[in-house]
Amino acid sequence: MSIDPYEALGNAVVLQAVKDWRDSVGKLNNGRRNVAAEAMRDECERFFKSPYFNTFTELDGNMLLAKLKMEVAE
């Protein structure tokens, strides 16, 4: 069973956004101001909440973001 190339690309885009969000939040949690990390976090959050997100996946971007934020709060 092979995955559709467009589905694979969409999954890769979403996965990269998740990695970028986690990385930026990790940098922000060290207590120092990091403008680049703030910008990346904000950009990822806008992406998760945008209708454009559903071009890549059927996931609920708001739900994904909520779960990511819960992950960080633990």
Structural domain including 17 reads 5-73
Task: Identify the band that residue 69 occupies on the pLDDT scale cut at 50, 70 and 90.
Answer: very high
Name the residue among 48, 37, 42, 41 with its Cα closest to residue 13: 48
Task: Provide the whole-model pTM.
Answer: 0.90
Report how many domains make up the chain.
1
> 24-68: per-residue pLDDT in tens?
999 999 888 999 999 999 999 999 999 999 999 999 999 999 999
Task: Give CA–CA dist 59/50, Å, rounded.
Answer: 12
Q: In this structure, are residues 28 and 38 in contact, taking their beta carbons and an 8 Å threshold?
A: yes
Task: Kindly state the helix (H) or strand (E) to which residue 19 belongs, with its residue range.
Answer: helix 5-28
Task: Give CA–CA dist 58/74, Å, rounded.
Answer: 27
> 9-29: per-residue pLDDT in tens?
999 999 999 999 999 999 999
Integer angstrom CA distances of residue 3 from 7, 9, 40? 7, 10, 29
